[in-house]
Structure 1
């Protein structure tokens, strides 16, 4: 393949990295400062997918916290997370080899995530992943997924045309449908529905499968 190969755009949390332990730590730091009990990992995982404001809202609803405090607690959550975002985060097995293979085959690579863009860039830098991606679109510039706007923006920043989208969740699947793009589902992330019930072009559980799935899409 050449540099004209189809761009491949990735979600971040639950797709390339398992970041919930650090999100849990930041959320618990904020809520314990409010006199609230900590959240366990499965509960925080259930809050993931529609951005940090939604995560905090879900946590507040669970604890019955006055929603008037939402802007303050969102700001506190963002600050706590950005201060220490990768101590417990790991890259999923096989991701680096898959990114190397896709890059070597000429596919421009991008990130489209609901994580605030500042935090996304910090995480990618600290995990040594930034260099793979020619475009990084996070929360804060346009509407959040499942609105297709951030995916369209990422495609534009990769040079236009079409793309494949790779993600792990219902939000990602709905975003790909809204954008009219093929969707490759990573089944080992944060989805809540059975994989076979989600809209998808193909699915995979091991990143070693991804390069040939991309090649099959042309």
Structure 2
């Protein structure tokens, strides 16, 4: 069966506001104040919690990996408690998912967000029912860009690897698809805009209105 695998943060939904808020709450607990800006640091937010902590600590002139490791569980706690305050599904995404499902495509999520948080967020956004599987950063021993989580997402949805592709927004997604030997498409409505074109994905998505046509081109 033909299968489309979606990244979550920066692909299905703009989660950057809640991610940055969680990081700033963590910094606030440590007496450092708000070290990240929701708009200017959105791209860092989409690279994950540890990336935000590294950036914030560097701005405060302190912190190494040990401090990042100590702060990371606190960040996750803040994020879990306020996971959908600012997060918005990208325009047209729901309609596009419904259209793919009606056309017979299988759908799954492969994200570097912890699986439990991904499940919670997808449910809160009323998206969980579209996906046959959700594979997170801690579902397997490895995470993207390793190919194993992608393969697990395809298998969990009941699909075929050779008739699948990955829709994402970062170099990590591009490299995941390359490792799995499948096409990738990257959205251009994230912080990097059309800069993702330099990663040479097999497709670019400017708006979810174009997803059906892109999908037909990549996997039939």
Q: What TM-score comes out, normalization by structure 2 length?
A: 0.90
Aligned to 1:29: 25
Aligned to 1:118: 116
Change (3 A) 1:149 1:49: farther
Match among 14, 20, 23 for residue 18 of structure 1: 14
Query: Is the partner of 1:139 in helix, strand or coil?
Result: coil
Match among 70, 77, 88 for residue 72 of structure 1: 70
Query: Is the partner of 1:188 in helix, strand or coil?
Result: coil
User: Deviation of residue 155 (structure 1)?
Assistant: 1.5
User: Deviation of residue 49 (structure 1)?
Assistant: 4.2
User: Deviation of residue 119 (structure 1)?
Assistant: 0.9
Alignment of 1:98-137 (within 5 A): 98-137=96-135
Q: In 1, are the aligned partners of 2:23 and 2:49 still within 8 Å (CA)?
A: no
Aligned to 1:56: 53
Query: Is the partner of 2:41 in helix, strand or coil?
Result: helix
Post-superposition CA distance 1:98-134 (Å, at most 9, x none): 0000000111100011111111111101110000000
Q: Which structure 2 residue ranges, 5 or more long, are not aligned?
A: none
Quick check: 1:169 aligned with 2:159? no
In 2, the alpha carbon distance for the partners of 1:146 and 1:54 equals: 16
Post-superposition CA distance 1:49-94 (Å, at most 9, x none): 4443343234333333333322321000000000110010000000
Q: In 1, are the aligned partners of 2:21 and 2:38 still within 8 Å (CA)?
A: no
Alignment of 1:129-168 (within 5 A): 129-142=127-140, 143-162=142-161, 163-168=164-169
Aligned Cα RMSD in Å? 1.7
Is the deviation greater in 35-44 or in 84-93?
A: 35-44
Q: In 1, are the aligned partners of 2:26 and 2:75 still within 8 Å (CA)?
A: yes
In 1, the alpha carbon distance for the partners of 2:47 and 2:90 equals: 21
User: Deviation of residue 47 (structure 1)?
Assistant: 1.9
Query: Is the partner of 1:114 in helix, strand or coil?
Result: coil
Q: Which structure 1 residue ranges, 5 or more long, are not aligned?
A: none
Is the deviation greater in 51-60 or in 101-110?
A: 51-60
